[in-house]
Structure 1
Amino acid sequence: LCSLLLPSVLSTASFASTSAVITSQDVMDGLTESVLTPGQKYRMFGVYASSAQNDVYAKNLVIKGADNTQFTVASLATPKLNTGYVLDETKILTAPITISDTSPTPTTGFAARIPFTIYIVTTDKTVSPVISAQLIEGPVHSKAANLNAPSCMVLSAEMDFQLSSVDTGSLDKIDVSIAGFDSVAAEYNVLTVT
């Protein structure tokens, strides 16, 4: 089983306070604080679009927890060692969680912005590996990425993500969702591919 989060249809959401997905559009619209359970610890995952020339903008997107621990989208988008594209699950913040864009205001023209997606999930849940669609340079290989789990999630920030970008030949089923695999109901699935 593999879940795919589509950023073009995602919006800030909370599902029984176990997870949330925040996109670049949410931050541009002024959303700065999540609606998660205060005091609860959450794992943080992030990706930004491959259209970015570099990670300068992603380093200006700051996600901060109640204890002032903070990460940037660039740091959340870094894979675990020796996996290539599996995101690190050890980045944890305590709610309330705030997100801010610290990019300097340009003196002329428009500020450079790129699509990004932040996935937040409670530490009370067992996390299946979260794979960055931006870091995949070919098929997803379970052994090469050290995936020892019955499922995974592919997180994308691309405005146009093709499922054909991921080799699905060895998978029994793929759920395409507007929420994470941990959501309390299957009602968020928009498509199942078998």
Structure 2
Amino acid sequence: MTKIVDHDQRRLIIAEAALRVIRQVGMKGATVRNIARESGLSLGALRHYFSTQDELLDFSMRLVKERATARINDLVSLDMPLVQKVLWILLELLPTDDDKLAEMEVWFAFTAHYRNSGTAFDVQHDGILDLVGRLLRSLKESGVLRPELDCAMETERLYAFIDGIALHAFLDTKRVDYERIVDLVTYHMKSICIEESFLF
């Protein structure tokens, strides 16, 4: 009987193996041979799905981004007060659990690799700046953002704030743990939103 192979599932398994290898040994160790070994496939089988290492790494990077985007979209669809929703979405961008910390570790490795490799993938356009801008415009349009604030400046400030917290949480997980992350993001939100908006 012929074995039916789900090619999309196989590509996903290979990409997840690549992410594990990157976490274990870094980008330099993310060779096709090491990833094939981690995924339990032969080199030939792996090359059937990804003809080059860059193609595999690009797919893996997009997988990390797609998973984060899906989690954010799930939050967007929830029925809750706007400030609470924005707070939860911002927390989704940060390493508040082991899975997100692992994703962040891989994302930082990808960013460093692609920045120096000269490939076409633009890691600076991770979508976070655009998302932060949309969240702040939504707060402004709903009358929740403090009226004296400049939305464009607050977008840049919040974008830098999120990146900074992410980096510190990645580098010092004991000091910048889940509770600290929640406290910091909540404190920032309270500084830019009208007081009544936090009655949830």
TM over 0.5: no
Name the one with the larger strand percent.
1
- TM score, norm. by length of structure 2: 0.23
- TM score, norm. by length of structure 1: 0.23
Name the one with the larger helix percent.
2
- The structure having more radius of gyration, on CA atoms, is 2
- Larger RCO (alpha carbons 8 Å, 6+ apart): 1
